[in-house]
Each structure stands twice: as structure tokens, then as C-alpha cells.
Structure 1
Amino acid sequence: MKALRGFPPAPVPLAAAARGAVALAVPLLVGVWTATPVPAVIAGIGALWGVSQDGPDPYPLRARRLGCMGLWAALGLLAGELALRSGHPAAVTVCLVVVALLAGAVSLRGRLASVSGMHFLLGATIGGGIPVPGPWWQAPLALLAGVGLVVVLSAAPWLWRRHAVERSAVLAVYRAASAALAAAGTPAAEDARRQLTAALDHAHQAMGPHLARRARARTEPDALRVAFHGAVRLGEVTSALVWEGRPLPRCVTDMPLLMAARLLPRPGGATGSAGTDRVVRAPDRAVPRTAPDSPGLRALAELSAETVRERPDEVPARLPAFPWHGRAAQVRYTVLLAVCVLVAQLCAELLHGPRGYWLPMTVAFVYKPDFGPVFRRALHRCAGTVVGVAALGAVTLLTTDTYVLIGAVAAFGALMAVGVRHHYALATTGLTAIVLVLVQMLGDHRALFAARILDTALAAAIVLVAHFVLWPRSAAERAAEQTEAALAAARRYRDLAPGTAAAQRHALRRTAYHRLAEARRAVAHARGEPGRSDRRPADWEDAIASAERMCDAVSARNLEAGPAGSAHPVPRCAAAGAVGG
């Protein structure tokens, strides 16, 4: 939900904001018009959780993630609802602890499992805390209907623009390469090259399904696959030129954009793309007649002049995933999550009696070490809750009209969709206000504003005490493990034998840079936690930066040793459109 340090901020996701507003308003409007507020509110909760997981992934991946999340949330809701209906005083508490154990057991096994486990626990907290009249199957179906609405809104564009996300991801690599070349020889060069690595990682993830299976020739997936392999090779050349450390003329820095215009035509057959037509049409006569000669420039000229053709697979279909922690750490997290949920539920029963779901629900949201620093997440949760309560309080002071409140839910839904991509406190602001309106529509008119702020602070305190007293070095341990794995991958790339096949070279290079980027994120995570470690984050960052520079040097060495350097002349710069001499 936030960019890495030194990366430009992502644009405001207007389409996601519109989807969030529609997805949350529609169920409530239907509930008002049909006089069925309870199923409508449960559907609104499903839409709320769906909006929180609506990402910029390719459409099939979005549908898969939302579908898995919805099924696990409905299962948790059913478990909590049955425990509540049993009438046994301890049934809900036992149910929440058991669900927390199951959720924790799967939460650190990957992104999809983590999302599913968290919403399994969230569903149980809602089912065990909000009595729902009617048959037992009605609430889970209503929840699935809300999630299904988000799936339709998010993935429906697949019907008419199936590969737009993949195309944008690959195109972003060429743009990042152009920016990195423009930064060569300046203090911003290393940050620009890291942005290129991030763009390649994102494109690799988006293109994974197309790399795993052979696409038919002359289809859009086939063209995207060829363009992606060109982007991988361009990444190697760009790293070498950045390592050379010389400023490059405009005709060289625009070459990736020219390649993108040729390899990624606009849908419908038009050539060029945003940011590339200017390069093709506007000659740049202010640059020198010839560019400095180097192996990197010759490799760039060869890559740019190359005829577009089908290439053999040069990288694995999936980037190697590094597990969050070993088995012992996963067991520790599972037990700590269950203990936090148990303590939160006992506090809720003492403070609020039956509808004290807010405390365990907040624990489920906050205690997600794989989603970012727990300490920062807890602070942002508290801040967002305060702002959300204040914002909705201002609305209710003006009016309590149902349609106005539904309009407020739509606005806060849009705000939450933006916050999911930019800042957790912003997302929490929207979520808090929405949940308060949903609870009011269920007929709960208690004075909950101050109670929700105190409950959030108490739940955050429970998580922080348990985590930093019993597992204070979790983030530092992961950073150390990630850094060692990344350095090992960099050494494997460094020790590559001369003359190794291009496929193996590119696979090792992609793995090394990807692992180094992951290690840098893990170190940033550890820096955001107050726990102590034997090594300072600055030591890890220095080691990662040195390994990145070493990989850049290895890329330059590989290009210098390759036979392609003498095959094409260095590009001439009489015009920006002149490539290959």
C-alpha cells in the first residue's frame, strides 16, 4: 500500500475508487428498497472485504483471489454464526480461538493463503458477534453475493480488454528502462535501476500464466510474451549501461520507448503508445552526432535493431518465492495470534457483553507481520479509526437520513479503495466509517464512537505487547534470512561460467535482482519495527547495495564477453528515430 523509498507515488486509482463506491452502495440501496436490511448489510460487509482485496493484478488473478477470500470468509461467518446460535456461553470464544489457530497456520504460506486466513478469522468474528435472524445459510450467501459483486465489477473488463493489465506491466518496464538510461551517470542512477527491477518483477508476476504455457502465434499473448523477453534482455543491457556511469544522449535513452512502440502496438493495430509517439516523430538534433562506444551501447543497438521473432524461454514462469519464516516461526505466530484473539474476546465480553466483535476483528487486521511492520500497522489502525469516527460523527451531526448515510458509505468506500493502494491509515478511515454505518443499519443505535476508538487502541496494545515481548526479533530475523538468500543468489550470478546459455544467464540474473529487491523490502520492514537485532538495517542495506552494483558489473562483463557486441554499430544520434546505425 505504499511505494518504496525513492519510488514515485502511484497515481490515484479512480477506477478502483468508483468500483468501491458502487460495490458498497448497491447492496444497501437494494436492502432499503426491498425492506431486507440484514442481508443487505451482510452483503455490504462482503463487498467491503472485496474492495480491500481489489488489486491491479491481471483479471483472472483478481477473480481467483477474491473468490478464495469470499469462500473462506463465508466459512468463517458460518462457523461464528453457528457458535452464536448454540447459546453456549463459551461457544463463540472457543470458535474464535480454533479459527485463529487455523488462520495462523496458513497465513504465512503465501499471499493468497494469508488473505484467505485473515478473512476466515474476520468472518468468524462477525458471525460470532452480530446475531443474524433467518436460516443459517442466509448470511454466508449474502456475504458471497457482496464479494461476487466486487468480482464482477473488478474482473468484467476482461471480456473486452483481456490483456490490458499485462500490456501495461510490460510497457512499464520499457518506460522504466528509458528513465534508468536517462539517469545514468547521475546520483539518481541506482534508484532508477531499482525502479526498473520493480517494474520487471511486476511484469514477471503479471506475465507468469502466459510464460507457463505456449501461446498461439500472432495472438496478443504471444506478442506480449515476445515483448516481455525483450524487456528481460533490455534489463540486462540497462544495468550494464548504468554501471558504466556515463551520461547518455537522448537518442540512446529513447531507444526503449522506440522498442515498446514496435513490440507493443496499441489495441486495434495502431502503432505507438503513450509517451512513444513523441519519440518517433520528434527528432532531437541537440545531441552529439555519435554516442560513446561501449559493449553496453552495442548490445542496446543490437537489441533495438533485432527483428521481432519468437524466442525460446529465457526466464522461469514464476519468480522464486521466499517463505516468510520457517516452521518454528509459523507455529509461534499461530499461537500468538490465537492468544491475542482469546485475550481480545475476553476483554470484549467484559466491556461490551455480546456484540464485542470489534476487539477480535481489530486483532485480525493488525497482527499481519507479512503485510508490513506490525508497529506501524497498529499506529495507522488507531489513527485511521480516530479519523473515521470523527468523519462519520460529522455526517451524523448534520443528518441521519438513510440515503445520505448510504451516500457517505459510497464516499468512504471510494476512499478505502484509494487507501488500499496508498496508505493503510487512509484505508482504515474508510473502513471504520463504513462499519459504523452498517452496524447502525442493523438497528444497533448504541453510542459506539468513543467505544470503537478505545477498543481499537486496546486491541493494538494487545498485539504489540504479545508480539514484541514474545517475538521481538521476527522482522530482524526475516531481514537477515532474506539478505543472506539474496547475496547467495547474487554470488551464483557472479560465478556464472563464460559462454553460458542466454536462458540460464537471464534466469540467474532475474533471480538475483528479484531476491535483492525482496531483501531490501524486508530490511525496510525491520527498520519500521522497534525490536533490536545484532546487525543494524544500514549494514544489510550496504550489503544489498554492494551486491546490486556487483550484479550490474557482471551484466556489463557478460555483454563485453558476448559475440553480439561487434555485430551492430553504435547508434547514431542525428535523430531520435535512428537506431542501429
Structure 2
Amino acid sequence: MKALRGFPPAPVPLAAAARGAVALAVPLLVGVWTATPVPAVIAGIGALWGVSQDGPDPYRLRVRRLGCMGLWAALGLLAGELALRSGHPAAVTVCLVAVALLAGAISLRGRLASVSGMHLLLGATIGGGIPLPGPWWHAPLALLAGVGLVIVLSGAPWLWRRHAIERSAVLAVYRAASQALSAAGTPAAEDARRRLTAALDHAHQVMGRHLAPRARVRGELDALRGAFHTAVRLGEVTSALVWEGRPLPRHVTEVPLLMAARLLPRPGGAAGSAGPDPVDHAPGRAVFRTDLDSPGLRALAGLSAEAGRARPDEAPVRLPAYPWHGRAAQVRYTVLLAVCVLVAQLCAELLHGPRGYWLPMTVAFVYKPDFGPVFRRALHRCAGTVVGVAAIGAVTLLTTDAYVLIGAVAAFGALMAVGVRHHYALATTGLTAIVLVLVYMLGDHRALYGARILDTALAAAIVLVAHFALWPRSAAERAAAQTEAALAAARRYRDLAPGAAAVQRHALRRAAYHRLAEARRAVAHARGEPGRPDRELADREDAIASAERMCDAVSARTLGAGPVPFPRPVPRRAAAGPVGG
């Protein structure tokens, strides 16, 4: 949710905020105008969950994620609704536990599976906690209608800005390369190089399907693909120049931006030019307007001269697939999630009787170790709930007019869309206020504000006690496994890069830096859990930093740096078993 430390803050996503406001207001307005509040509220819940997954990724991936989320949420809603309609006292509890087991089993298998599993459980909590009139199939269809509205709003810009997301991602690599060159020879150089790696990783994920061997690309997309392949080579050259460790003149640091202006197509057009190039293109070579007194500068000059030309070695470079968690971790998380849902449901029945969905719903939101530190997520959930309750409580003290409440839902929907990209507590504030309005429009006018705060705190406590009593080192174990995989990838790059073909060298380098970045994030995740950071985490951070510097040196040596002082090998640590094993 939050911007990574050292990265510039992301701009406020105004388009996403507008989509969130419209997606949540439209179903409720239709419900008021047609006097059908129940389907409108269920559609609003679907829109609410859709807004929570409306990310900035390419339209195809965005629509796929929203569609999968909607289908799994509707399936969960149907299961919970049928359990509630059965009339058996334990049916809802058994249903929630069974759904939690299924959700946990699929949630740690990747980002899409994680989102689908969470919303499967959320759908079951709503279906089993809110009695819904009408035929059994009305509610799932209404939920899908709300998700469908978000899909239309989120995917519509594809019609007029089809490859704008891919272009922005690739352009960000060239900008990050320019910033890294500007930081060369300063204490900020390593952080700038890490930002370049993050930009390359993001562009690689965004461009992924267009890089497949059988992908048919033409026109603007063909230019984007060529610009990405050049960006991969630019990453190697930039790493070498950063490793050389001396400040570079401005006409050198601007070369990536001028390359981007030549290579990247303008929206709806062809690649353009951006004024004079600091590289004079002589026959067969490129000469900077300065002495080429380093291998890195010679490589940058050559790359700038060749940019835009077809190369036989521009084969697809794939990001390495790495399991999020080991099998033992998946089993443990599945069992713990089911236990937490069972305890939360039993507490809800004791405290509230029917309509006690808030407790298990909060468990489903909070217990997501793959979304960040569980302790921090629980705190942000509690803080966001308190603020959301206070905000909507202030609105309802002034008026309960339906149109005013719908306007408040639109405002909180925009706030939630911003929070999804910036901060979990902010997203929770919007979600809490919206859910309370939706419940009110269903006809439940009980004084729920204090109860919702206590329920959230209780659900967070259930998750924290279960997680840290039975699996206290989950984040540390994952950090160990990720670090070991990253160091192995760095050693492969060190051992194979000097004699490898260009395409294999780029693949090895991308794999090494990508896994090192993942390992660094996993260590930061482990540091976010309670307890004093132990020396083991500090050692891993040192090993990752050493491996990154080693990879920079390999890049410099590969580009012809002659007798480059080669760093001593990254120390091998005790092999870490599967996470959770």
C-alpha cells in the first residue's frame, strides 16, 4: 500500500478515485429510484470489492483479476446464503470453516489466487450473516453486476489509451536509469540502482505477455517491445557505471532520456525525437563528446548508437517464478485461518446472535501474511475502523437522507480507491464507512458503531494471538528462503555471465537482481513484525547488499572492464528449508 522507502511518493490516482465514487454511487441510486434496496446494496458490495482490486496494471490483467475475484466472491456468497437458508443452527459455522479451508489452500499460490481466496471467504461471511430475500440466485447476480460495473469503468480507457500503461512502465525504466547515472559516485548510488531494478521488474511484469515467443506484436507495441529490450541492456550498462563509482557529467546522465525519446512511441503515434543527441553517430561506432575512458561509458555510447535497431539476441527474458511459500506454510496458514474464522464466528454468535458477520469478515481481511506484516495490517485495520466509524457517525448525526448517504458513499469510495494504492488504514476508513451505510440501507438501524470497533479489535486480537503463538517466525522463515534463492541466483550470474551469450547473460542478470529485490522486501516484511529485529535479519540484509554489489561488478567486468577487482564470493549460509517447514 505505502510507497517503498526511498521512492518518490506516488501521485494521487484521481481517475481511480473517480471510478470508485461512480461505481459505488450508481447501484445505490438505481436502488433508490426503483425501490429495490436489497439488490442495490448487494451490487454495492460487489462494487466495493471491485474498487479494492482496481489496480494500475495493464487492462487485460486488471479485468482478469476483477473477473476472477467477482466469480469467487459470488460463489462464496452463494455458499453462505444457502447455509443460512437451510435453517440448521450450525450450518453457517460449518460453511465458513469449510470455505476458510478452501480459501487458505489457494491463497498462498500467487497474487491472483490470494485475491480470489480472500473474496471467496468474504462472500461466504456476507451470505451467511445477512438474510437476503428473494430467490437464491438474485444475490450472486447482483454482486456480479456490481463487479461488472467496476470492470467496465476500469477497462474502458483501453479503447483510447490502449498501451499507455506499458509505455509509462518502460519510460519509468529510462528515467530511473538517468537518475541512477546522476547518483553515480555519491552515497545515493546504491538506492538509485535499486530503484532502477524495481522499475525494470515492474516494466517486465507489465510487458510480460507481449514478450512471449508467440506473441504477435506490431506497430506501437512492437516499438514498446524493442524499447524494453534496450532497457534491459541499459540496466546492465547503468549497473556497470554505478559500480565504477565516479560522478558523471550531465550530458551522460541524460542519455537514457534521449534514448527513450527516440525509442518510445508517443501516445497514438510513432517514436519521436527529443532534440540533439549527446552522442555523435560515426560510422559503426558512437562517440561521446568526452573521452571514453571507461568500459561503462564505451558500452553506453555503443548502446545509444544501436538503440532502435533489431538485434538477433533480443529473445524474451523471463522473470523467474518463485513459490510464495512452501507446502508446509500453505498447510499451516490454511489451518490457522480456519481456526481463526471458527473462533470469530463463535464469538459473533455469543455476542450478536444473527448478523454477526463483522468478526469473521475482519479475520478474512486481516489474516493475509502475503499482503504484508500481519501485526501492522491488524493495527491499520483497527485505526481505519475507528476513523471510518467516527466519520460516518458524524454524517448520520446531521442527516439520514438517502441521497446524502449515497453522496457520502461516493466520497468514501474515492477515499478508498486512493487508500488502496497508498495506505491500508486509509482504505479501511473508506470501506468501514461504506459498509455501515450499506447495512443501514438494508434496514438494519441498530446502533452498531461501538460494536463494530469492538468486533474489529476482537478479530484482530484473534488473528494476532493465533498467528504469533503458533507461527511466530513465518516472516523470518520466508525471508530466509527468499535470501537463499537470491544468493543462489547471484552466484549463477557470477559464474556463468562472462562466457554466456548476450540473451543468456541478460536473463541471468535479470533473475539475480529480481530475486535480490524480492529478498530485500521479504526481510523488510520480517522486520515489520513485532519483536526486536534479530541479528539474523541484519546478516541477510548485509548478504543481499554484498550480492548486489557483486552483480554490479560482474556487469562491469562483462562489459570489458579489464582487471576489475572482483569481490570475494557471497558466503553460503545454511540452507533454508521450505518456508514453514
Instruction: State the TM-score bracket (shorter-chain normalisation).
Output: over 0.9
**Does the residue aligned with 2:559 lie in a helix, a strand or coil?**
helix
Distance 1:54 1:208 in 2: 19
Question: RCO higher in 1 or 2 (8 Å CA, sep ≥ 6)?
Answer: 1
Q: Which residue of 1 aligns with 2:450?
A: 450
Query: Is the contact made by 2:294 and 2:561 (CA closer than 8 Å) also made in structure 1?
Result: no
**Residue by residue, what CA displacement relative to the aligned partner does 1:350-397 show, whole Å, maximum 9, x if unpaired?**
000010000000000000000000000000000000000011111111
Distance 1:363 1:312 in 2: 52
Shift of the alpha carbon at 1:427?
Answer: 0.3
Shift of the alpha carbon at 1:555?
Answer: 0.4
Distance 1:73 1:382 in 2: 24
Q: Which residue of 2 aligns with 1:206?
A: 206
Distance 1:415 1:174 in 2: 32
Q: Which residue of 2 aligns with 1:578?
A: none
Q: Which residue of 1 aligns with 2:358?
A: 358
2:50 pairs with 1:43:
no
Query: Is the contact made by 1:208 and 1:317 (CA closer than 8 Å) also made in structure 2?
Result: no
Q: Which residue of 2 aligns with 1:173?
A: 173
Q: How many residues of Structure 1 are paired with residues of Structure 2 in the alignment?
A: 554
Distance 1:497 1:121 in 2: 46
**Residue by residue, what CA displacement relative to the aligned partner does 1:166-185 show, whole Å, maximum 9, x if unpaired?**
11100110010011101111
Distance 1:403 1:162 in 2: 36
**Residue by residue, what CA displacement relative to the aligned partner does 1:216-241 show, whole Å, maximum 9, x if unpaired?**
56512211111100000000000000
**What residue ranges of structure 1 are gaps of 5+ in the alignment?**
282-287, 563-581
Q: Which residue of 2 aligns with 1:408?
A: 408
Shift of the alpha carbon at 1:311?
Answer: 3.1
**Does the residue aligned with 1:328 lie in a helix, a strand or coil?**
helix
Q: Which residue of 2 aligns with 1:112?
A: 112
Distance 1:137 1:216 in 2: 41
For 1:357, the aligned partner's letter is Y
Distance 1:447 1:217 in 2: 58
**What residue ranges of structure 2 are gaps of 5+ in the alignment?**
279-287, 563-581
For 1:549, the aligned partner's letter is R
Cα 1:12–1:303, aligned 2, differ >3 Å: closer, same or farther? same
Query: Is the contact made by 1:84 and 1:129 (CA closer than 8 Å) also made in structure 2?
Result: yes
Q: Describe how 1:128-527 pairs up with structure 2 within 5 A.
A: 128-214=128-214, 216=216, 218-269=218-269, 271-272=271-272, 277=274, 290-291=290-291, 293-306=293-306, 308-312=308-312, 314=314, 316=316, 318-496=318-496, 498-527=498-527
Cα 1:497–1:69, aligned 2, differ >3 Å: closer, same or farther? closer
Q: Which residue of 1 aligns with 2:65?
A: 65
Query: Is the contact made by 2:220 and 2:265 (CA closer than 8 Å) also made in structure 1?
Result: no
Query: Is the contact made by 1:476 and 1:531 (CA closer than 8 Å) also made in structure 2?
Result: no
Query: Is the contact made by 2:388 and 2:433 (CA closer than 8 Å) also made in structure 1?
Result: yes
For 1:59, the aligned partner's letter is Y
**Does the residue aligned with 1:12 lie in a helix, a strand or coil?**
coil
Distance 1:357 1:218 in 2: 51
Distance 1:182 1:171 in 2: 17
**Does the residue aligned with 1:246 lie in a helix, a strand or coil?**
coil
Q: Which residue of 1 aligns with 2:77?
A: 77
Cα 1:361–1:216, aligned 2, differ >3 Å: closer, same or farther? closer
For 1:88, the aligned partner's letter is H
TM-score (norm 2): 0.93
**Residue by residue, what CA displacement relative to the aligned partner does 1:53-87 show, whole Å, maximum 9, x if unpaired?**
01011000000000000000000000000000001
Cα 1:217–1:404, aligned 2, differ >3 Å: closer, same or farther? closer
Query: Is the contact made by 1:472 and 1:531 (CA closer than 8 Å) also made in structure 2?
Result: no
**Residue by residue, what CA displacement relative to the aligned partner does 1:310-350 show, whole Å, maximum 9, x if unpaired?**
33464655411221221111101000000000000000000
For 2:128, the aligned partner's letter is G
Query: Is the contact made by 1:314 and 1:506 (CA closer than 8 Å) also made in structure 2?
Result: no
Distance 2:497 2:361 in 1: 54
Distance 1:367 1:268 in 2: 44
Query: Is the contact made by 2:497 and 2:554 (CA closer than 8 Å) also made in structure 1?
Result: no
Shift of the alpha carbon at 1:499?
Answer: 3.1
Q: Which residue of 1 aligns with 2:553?
A: 553
Query: Is the contact made by 1:473 and 1:531 (CA closer than 8 Å) also made in structure 2?
Result: no
Cα 1:377–1:312, aligned 2, differ >3 Å: closer, same or farther? farther
Cα 1:131–1:494, aligned 2, differ >3 Å: closer, same or farther? same
Query: Is the contact made by 1:257 and 1:279 (CA closer than 8 Å) also made in structure 2?
Result: no
Q: Which residue of 2 aligns with 1:575?
A: none
Distance 2:270 2:210 in 1: 23
**Does the residue aligned with 1:495 lie in a helix, a strand or coil?**
helix
Q: Which residue of 2 aligns with 1:574?
A: none
TM-score (norm 1): 0.93
Cα 1:218–1:131, aligned 2, differ >3 Å: closer, same or farther? closer
**Does the residue aligned with 1:536 lie in a helix, a strand or coil?**
helix
Distance 2:135 2:513 in 1: 54
For 1:299, the aligned partner's letter is A
Query: Is the contact made by 1:226 and 1:311 (CA closer than 8 Å) also made in structure 2?
Result: no
